[in-house]
Amino acid sequence: MKIAKSLEFDGAYLPSFNKEIVGINSNTPKNFKLLGSAHDIKEIKIKEKQGVELLFLSPVFKKKNERQLKINNFLRLRKSTNIETAALGGINSKNIKLLNLYGIKNVGSIDWVKKIYG
């Protein structure tokens, strides 16, 4: 976050393993945004303390290190916070429709975008 501020970026991403309570303070530019990711309630609580405004919950569909949230756990985690959430992990043209059915409008996907745009 220090680097992002010093380079006058509009924001920074705090991965789930970043547990440091950095947050927004009086030295932070007014429009500076913090994004983060989490896999469970404990990590969500840390992201809340960090002042994250958009939280990627993952992995929803893609198995990563034997973790996979699936829809029900995503919805449960989403209800546990007031932070705006986004689905991440294994998003593609097939399961995006399922996310839509559950009212999940925010997603992140690298592989799907690469597949479409090369």
pLDDT digits (tens, 9 = 90+) for 18-77: 998 876 666 777 788 999 999 999 999 999 999 999 999 999 997 666 678 889 999 999
What is the domain count for the chain? Answer: 1
Q: What is the mean pLDDT of residues 9-16?
A: 90
User: Which conformational region is residue 59 in: left (phi greater than 0), alpha (psi within -120 to 50 degrees), or beta?
Assistant: beta
Q: What is the mean pLDDT of residues 84-106?
A: 93
CATH code for position 52:
3.20.20.70
Considering only residues 115 and 25, tell me which one the structure prediction assigns the higher pLDDT.
115
CA-to-CA distance for 79 and 7, rounded, in angstroms? 35
pTM to 2 decimals? 0.86
Domain that residue 70 falls in:
2-117
Chain centre distance of CA 115: 21
**pLDDT at position 93, please?**
87
103: tokens are 């009212």
